């Protein structure tokens, strides 16, 4: 089974936390967002940029998707209201926390470094 890579952590005011996974942003999801909000919402990389820029509709789409996938009954994205800056800050704080402690370190040892020689090469 493939590892579900995390795409974005979402923390809403009030304490609800979600993880948006890359595999949740399907063609069908992008087509639906494109139909509701315009052509830029149908492109994965453009949608990512919209999230980074703090686009309100992009954040509402992301929140709607994670809530729906968590089995909740969210409001439609166009009727959501929350502080986008707070949600973005919560995601940024999670990134600053460092690597996931559950993830094991890479067991591959670093290649030994040779001594530099006079001609700039290493031994």
Q: Please tell me which residue, 63 or 107, carries the higher pLDDT value.
A: 63
Structural domain tally of the chain? 1
- Please check whether residue 52 lies inside any domain of the structure: yes
- Stretch 86-109: mean pLDDT, rounded? 60
CA pair distance 35, 33, nearest whole angstrom: 5
- Please check whether residue 1 lies inside any domain of the structure: no
- Please check whether residue 112 lies inside any domain of the structure: no
Q: What is the pLDDT of residue 27?
A: 97
- Please check whether residue 123 lies inside any domain of the structure: no
| Model confidence, pTM | 0.70
Is the pLDDT at 1 greater than 50? The verdict is no
CB 29 within 8 A of CB 42: no
User: Which spans in the chain are helix H?
Assistant: 27-37, 44-53, 56-69, 84-96
Q: Please tell me which residue, 58 or 97, carries the higher pLDDT value.
A: 58
List the domain range (segments joined by +) for residue 83.
Answer: 6-96
Q: What is the pLDDT of residue 86?
A: 87
Q: What is the pLDDT of residue 4?
A: 65
């Amino acid at each position: 089974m493939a590892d579900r890579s995390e795409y974005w952590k979402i923390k809403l005011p009030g304490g609800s936390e979600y993880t948006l996974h890359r595999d949740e942003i399907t063609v069908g999801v992008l087509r639906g967002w494109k139909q509701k909000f315009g052509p830029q919402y149908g492109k994965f990389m453009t949608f990512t940029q919209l999230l980074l820029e703090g686009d309100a509709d992009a954040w509402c789409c992301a929140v709607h998707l994670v809530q729906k996938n968590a089995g909740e009954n969210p409001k439609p994205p166009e009727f959501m209201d929350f502080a986008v800056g707070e949600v973005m800050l919560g995601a940024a704080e999670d990134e600053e926390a460092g690597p996931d402690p559950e993830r094991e370190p890479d067991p591959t040892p670093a290649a030994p470094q040779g001594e530099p020689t006079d001609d700039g090469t290493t031994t």
